[in-house]
Amino acid sequence: MSNDRAHADHTHEHPTWKQYKWVALWLFVITVIEVWAYYIPSFVASKAFVPALLIMSAVKFTVVVMFYMHLKYDHQIFRRLFGGPLLIAGATVVAFLFLFGKL
């Protein structure tokens, strides 16, 4: 992160209208699949249910952060300011679930 003035934030490219709409469509479709999955008892009972849901929501999460919050296009400082805490928060949640016998 030496002299970071070079990439000041007006130089970055923005996501476009078209991307915005595609993203919205993706979010919609994944949400529909999630809810749909909830109503398939055999799937809910299967081992794949929880990981599948977690993966789907992680994808939604990432998509919103990357495109709507334009982290993909923004200064790397922002990625660190967000990614670091997110990592620690995630690790802490997992640790708690382990400590309280939920994993």
Partner 1 sequence: MASLAASPTHASAASTSEQTGLWSWLTTVDHKRIGMLYLYTALFYLLVGGLEALVLRTQLAKPNMGLISAETYNQVFTMHGTTMIFLVVMPLSAAFFNYLIPLQIGARDVAFPRLNAFSYWVYALGGLFITLPIFFGVAPNGGWFGYAPLSGPTYGGGFNMDFWVLGLQILGISSLAAAFNFITTIINLRAPGMTLMRMPMFTWMSFVVQFMVVLAFPVVTAALFFLQFDRFFGTHFYEVAAGGDPLLWQHLFWVFGHPEVYILILPAFGLVSEVLPTHSRKPLFGYNVMAYSGIMIGFLGFGVWAHHMFAVGMGPVADSIFSVATMLIGIPTGVKIFNWIATMYGGSLRFPVSMKFAIGLVAMFTIGGISGVMHASPPSDLQQTDTYFVVAHFHYVLYGGAMLGIFAGLYHYFPKITGRFMSERLGEWHFWLNFIGLNLTFFPMHFSGMLGMPRRIYTYDAGQGWDLFNLMSTSGTYMLLIAGLIFAYNFFTSRRNGALASNDPWGAPTLEWSIPSPPPEYNFAQIPEVTSRYPMWDLKAPDRMAGIKHTHADAAVIAEAHAVPVHEETERRTAQELGIPMPFPTIKPFMVALGIVILFSGLIVMHAGNFPLAMATMLGGAAFMVGSLYAWLTSPLE
Partner 2 sequence: MSTAATAGAHEAHEHTHYTTTGLHHRKIAMWAFIGSECMLFGSLITTYLVYKGRSVAGPFPHEAWTSPDGKAFPAILDIPVTSASTFVLLMSSLFMVLALAAVENKGKPGYEGRLGSSKFWLAATAAAGATFLGFQAFEFTSFVHHGLTIKTNLFGSSFFTLTGFHGAHVAVGVLWLMTMLFIDIKRGLGPKDALNVDIMALYWHFVDVVWIAIFTLVYLIK
Q: Which residues bind partner 1 (CB under 8 A)?
A: 1-3, 77, 81, 84-85, 88-89, 91-92, 95-96, 98-100
Given candidates 38, 40, 46, 48, which one binds partner 2 under the rule CB under 8 A?
Answer: 38
Identity at 4, one-letter amino acid code: D
- Whose Cβ is closer to partner 1: residue 50's or residue 91's? 91
Distance in Å, CB of 4 to partner 1, minimum: 9
* Long-range contacts from 25-31, C-beta under 8 angstroms, 24+ separation: 26/60, 26/63, 27/60, 27/63, 27/64, 30/56, 30/59, 30/60, 31/60
